[in-house]
Amino acid sequence: MPLKQVIAMGGGGFSMEPENPLLDLYILAQARKKTPSVCFFPHASDDAPRYCFNFYKAFSRYDARLSTLSLFTPHTADLESFVLAQDVIYVGGGNTRSMLALWREWGLDRILRKAYEEGVVLAGISAGANCWFEQCSTDSVPGKLSVMDCLGIIGGSFCPHYDGEVNRRSTLHAFVASAGIKAGWAADDGAAVHFVDGEYSGAVSSRPHARAYRLFRSGDTAVEEALATRFLGA
């Protein structure tokens, strides 16, 4: 049976830390092949060409076969075969709501779940981390943070940029305390949570002080528990 893996980054990776490859290298190390096929999904961004360029620039230094998938000029009609041939799907940040709408229209929600079951590592940052959970805290609607339903591959909720954006922490606490969002996880910029076979496996970071957290409701209060987070540097 293949391992089913999800790696959700609160922030970091090549798009936020171009000189710090620790999280990207960690993702590559989980792949089932020494020279993995890695496909980047830029679907949450309104500047996909730049995002794809930066992906190739960052990952071309590694021993990997690289590709991207456009949903505006797709290179194949058989998206399922293409996605299932990958070893890693790496999803970029941006607007979670818009990305999921595109995925559902193209059937990628179903295809990605099948890829997960077959051992393709699903990874991403911000919107690309939110998407794998039942729910997320998102700024997809301008001017506010809100809760939205996602793919549900991993149970519970997720909040990115926990230490990196104003009001992320306080708003998530309010959501949890009011039962407006499911219990789940949050990750600072530079931190990631790793799930194996649907269960939390550990947290890692590219910055010495970045952390991941578990949040749940007790009575009418949000409880935040810092997770042991392994710094990937020296």
Task: Write out the catalytic residue numbers.
Answer: 126, 161
The phi, psi pair for 70, rounded to 5°, reads -95, 140
Query: CA 53, 57, 61: angle at the middle one, nearest 5?
Result: 155
Which residue do the tokens 């399922």 mark? Answer: 80
* Nearest Cα to Cα of residue 225 among 192, 190, 184, 197: 184
**8 Å CB contact between 178 and 153:** no
Exposed, middle or buried: residue 172 (CB in 10 Å: 0-12, 13-18, 19+)?
A: buried
